[in-house]
């Protein structure tokens, strides 16, 4: 009977061999060192990331609803044009088609963020959405203040909105690691950068309008003109200028201004330092619209500078 209980027949020999290999492997692993484990993910990490697309969706929707139509803005611009205020002459109307691109691109980005919010491979949603949401809400403040001809408050609103949106681009940082998150780069960072760049253009022109408006107002107050009469007296002033008054104020024309060149220089520096070519593309669209209306060498150089900075930033990102 002993042959039925032979260890070799019952496979115990093979088990002993496996145990010996396991003992040697355990002894070898005692000398192996492993890197420290990463810190645990905070409990509210996914909640924060999941909430950010809804925050920007709320701000985006409210900004579209509260702004309404742009009839009031056009009326103010026409009034400023009659008063010969610098940069009250808007750029080529075709340039404002960039808003349609921003709106559509932002909608696509929000849909993707809401659908793939928990996709850790693409990291579509992030805390930078909060800054962009705040910038969208500030555009409402600009619309209301500019429509009521409070140009200083309007300029301050756009300055703050542009600063917050640029901060969002810096915080996002996807352009610095373009090959790591290509989906986020295409559908989140690009519309945010386009929005930020255009806000910088709008803020610069708004500041130019505010400064020119109050400089002209002070000049007319000293000379006793009625171009800026007190509307509280029921008189809007002499909106339509006589030929003599128009020629005397020819120095207020925006044709030879350095504002587009200054704008293009600042945007170019920011686009190269970040680097972020989309910001420079937005500036290129803005100064191109201005140069198409006021064809001077300064505006032409501003267009060339913004286009060159977009190319240089692209090389820095993808080279």
Pick from 12-16, 98-102, 111-115, 260-264: least confident: 12-16
Q: What is the DSSP string of 56-98?
A: HHHHHHHHHHHH--SHHHHHHHHHHHHTT-TT-S---GGGGGH
Residues 125-130: what's their mean pLDDT? 75
pLDDT-based confidence at residue 250 (cuts at 50, 70, 90) = very low
Residues 234-257: what's their mean pLDDT? 44
- pLDDT (0 to 100) of residue 91: 67
Pick from 9-13, 175-179, 210-214, 300-304: least confident: 9-13
271: nearest Cα among 263, 282, 280: 280
Pick from 124-128, 142-146, 224-228, 297-301: least confident: 224-228
Pick from 109-113, 236-240, 262-266: least confident: 236-240
Residues 89-97: what's their mean pLDDT? 71
pLDDT-based confidence at residue 251 (cuts at 50, 70, 90) = very low
- pLDDT (0 to 100) of residue 55: 85
pLDDT-based confidence at residue 107 (cuts at 50, 70, 90) = very high
Residues 155-175: what's their mean pLDDT? 89
- pLDDT (0 to 100) of residue 311: 93
Between 79 and 47, the higher pLDDT residue: 79
| CA distances, 47 to each of 50, 52, 179 (Å) | 5, 9, 27
- pLDDT (0 to 100) of residue 46: 59
Between 161 and 123, the higher pLDDT residue: 161
pLDDT in tens, 52-76: 788 888 888 888 887 655 556 777 7
pLDDT in tens, 169-221: 888 877 877 667 788 888 888 999 999 999 999 998 888 888 888 887 777 77
CA distance 276 to 165: 13
| CA distances, 294 to each of 87, 181, 220 (Å) | 10, 41, 25
Pick from 37-46, 137-146, 171-180: least confident: 37-46
Q: What's the chain's average pLDDT?
A: 75
- pLDDT (0 to 100) of residue 240: 44
Please report how many Cα atoms fall inside a 13 Å half-sphere around the Cα of residue 124, on the Cβ side. 20
pLDDT-based confidence at residue 230 (cuts at 50, 70, 90) = very low
CA distance 301 to 293: 15
């Amino acid at each position: 009977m002993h042959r039925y209980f032979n260890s070799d027949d019952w496979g115990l020999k093979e088990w002993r061999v496996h145990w010996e290999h396991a003992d040697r492997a355990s002894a070898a692993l005692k000398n192996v060192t492993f890197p420290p484990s990463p810190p645990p993910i905070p409990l509210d990490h996914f909640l924060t990331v999941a909430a950010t697309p809804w925050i920007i969706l709320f701000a985006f929707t409210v900004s579209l609803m509260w702004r309404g139509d742009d009839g009031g803005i056009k009326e103010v611009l026409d009034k400023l044009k009659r008063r010969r205020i610098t940069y009250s002459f808007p750029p080529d109307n075709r340039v404002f088609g960039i808003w349609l691109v921003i709106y559509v691109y932002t909608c696509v980005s929000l849909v993707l963020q809401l659908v793939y919010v928990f996709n850790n491979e693409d990291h579509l949603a992030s805390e930078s959405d909060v800054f962009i949401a705040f910038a969208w809400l500030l555009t409402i403040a600009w619309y209301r203040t500019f429509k009521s001809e409070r140009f200083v408050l309007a300029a301050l609103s756009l300055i703050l909105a542009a600063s917050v949106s640029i901060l969002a681009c810096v915080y996002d940082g996807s352009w610095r690691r373009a090959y790591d998150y290509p989906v986020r780069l295409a559908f989140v960072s690009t519309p945010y950068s386009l929005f930020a760049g255009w806000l910088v253009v709008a803020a610069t022109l708004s500041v130019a309008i505010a400064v020119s408006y109050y400089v002209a107002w002070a000049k007319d107050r000293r000379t006793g003109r009625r171009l800026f009469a007190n509307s509280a007296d029921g008189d809007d002033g002499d909106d339509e200028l006589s030929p003599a008054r128009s020629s005397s104020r020819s120095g207020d024309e925006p044709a030879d201004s350095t504002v587009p060149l200054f704008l293009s220089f600042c945007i170019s520096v920011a686009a190269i330092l970040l680097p972020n070519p989309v910001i420079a593309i937005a500036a290129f669209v803005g100064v191109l619209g201005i140069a198409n209306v006021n064809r001077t060498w300064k505006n032409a150089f501003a267009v060339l500078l913004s286009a060159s900075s977009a190319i240089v930033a692209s090389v820095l990102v993808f080279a």
